[in-house]
Homo-oligomer: A and B are copies of this chain.
Amino acid sequence: MASRKPAADGIPAAPARPRLTVMRDVAKLAGVSHQTVSRVLNNHPNVRVETRERVLEAMRSLNYRRNLAARTLVTRQSDTLGIIGFETTLFGPASMLYGIESAARDAGYMVSIASVRDLERRQVLEAVDRLTQHSVDGVIAIAPKQSVNHALAQAPPSLQCVAVGGSGESDAAPTVSIDNAAGARLATQHLLDLGHATVHHAAGPSDWPESVERIEGWRRTLYAAGAVVPPVEHGWWDAESGYAQGRAMARDPAVTAIFCANDRIALGVLRALHEAGKRVPEDVSVVGFDDMPDSGFFVPPLTTVHQDFGELGRRSLSLLLEHMATSPEVPPPDRVLVAPQLVIRTSSGPLRH
């Protein structure tokens, strides 16, 4: 029925353009002007209910959808937000991405994504460029390294950006992140309260603000408690690095409590401890950071600091929207901190011999 008939008249072939239904068609059917249709679409108040109803009906019967490209052309806004993604294959960034996307959808925005392989200025700038070219209305950068903020500072000033997951030290863009220092404090204090003389730290990379802030929080807490601050070695965010650090620590009998920069590192530490014949938590307590989906099923179930990545995404979106609403004269960029939460499972406990 609905199949397109080959033009039966003299014309050899129909033009390649299928002629989609546009406002004019709706207008004609409803017996109004295209402008009235536009008004209905944009919820302009000054349309008689009766007229509006007629237009709506026409749109329905023609299965009309407005052409966003045309709209974007004239309004210069696309109802699309850009996300600069990094390592989005990992749980944390992937969750933020999801959180942002959900929130954006609820706010009526589409989301386009530009991943970067690494966080060099050039790549970030190129991502920004790709996004601008597709005329996004704003950008959220999953930006766990300083370099991103530097790059963002070079973005066209008309483009609103917010950075999520990084440090707030840049003045390039407002930032939303977990309160890493608070999380580290929670974890460290928990271990101290359990009676451990001090707490060792299996750290992340040295050039990631998240890692640095966790170290800082951990260090301060020890200092405040008058405990000795053991030296830290930096690693990557994965289990392999945790395993390496864990092996070293397992050899040191002074180590009775380890705060890991994230759950994956904790997984590696756990394995190293296991191989060294140390029991957790009887001999050594371990605490992670992130609360990945399965960390409750590590051996033993991991005590960890829970991050609400979804909340992070939502907050960053609302911050962006807020900044987009105010005029482009730059207000002092804010930093939003999301409070983390300690989840106590069985990998931490008092020292027992």
- Listed in ascending order, the chain A residues whose CB lies under 8 Å from chain B are 17-18, 65-70, 72-73, 76, 78, 80, 85, 88-91, 94-95, 97-98, 101-102, 105, 110-115, 117, 129-130, 132-135, 158, 238-240, 242-243, 264, 267-268, 270-271, 274, 293-294, 296-299
Contacts and interface: CB of A to CB of B under 8 A. Distances in A.
Contacts of A18: 158
B115 A113 contact: no
Contacts of A130: 105, 110
A293 B264 contact: yes
Copies of this chain in the oligomer: 2
A116 to B, nearest CB: 10
B88 A98 contact: yes
A91 to B, nearest CB: 7
B112 A294 contact: no
A270 B300 CA distance: 11
Contacts of A101: 85, 113-115
Contacts of A158: 18
A334 B114 CA distance: 29
A66 B135 contact: no
A89 B132 CA distance: 26
Nearest to A73: B69
Nearest to A301: B271
Contacts of A91: 89, 91, 94
A133 B297 contact: no
Contacts of A65: 129, 132-133
Contact of A111 (B112, B135, B243): B112
A208 to B, nearest CB: 17
Contacts of A270: 299
A297 B298 CA distance: 11
Contact of A113 (B70, B72, B73, B113): B113
A134 B80 contact: yes
Contacts of A89: 91, 94-95, 98
Contacts of A238: 293-294
In the A-B complex, list the 5 residue pairs whose CB atoms are closest, starting with the nearest.
A239-B297, A69-B72, A239-B294, A94-B94, A69-B73
A204 B111 CA distance: 31
A105 to B, nearest CB: 7
22 contacts: A18-B158, A66-B133, A67-B73, A67-B135, A68-B133, A69-B69, A80-B134, A88-B94, A88-B98, A89-B94, A90-B94, A101-B115, A102-B115, A105-B130, A111-B113, A112-B112, A113-B113, A264-B294, A268-B294, A268-B297, A270-B299, A271-B297
A116 B265 CA distance: 31
A87 to B, nearest CB: 9
B68 A135 contact: yes
Nearest to A297: B239
A274 B301 CA distance: 12
A214 to B, nearest CB: 19
A123 B298 CA distance: 34
Given A238-B294, A239-B294, A112 B80 contact: yes
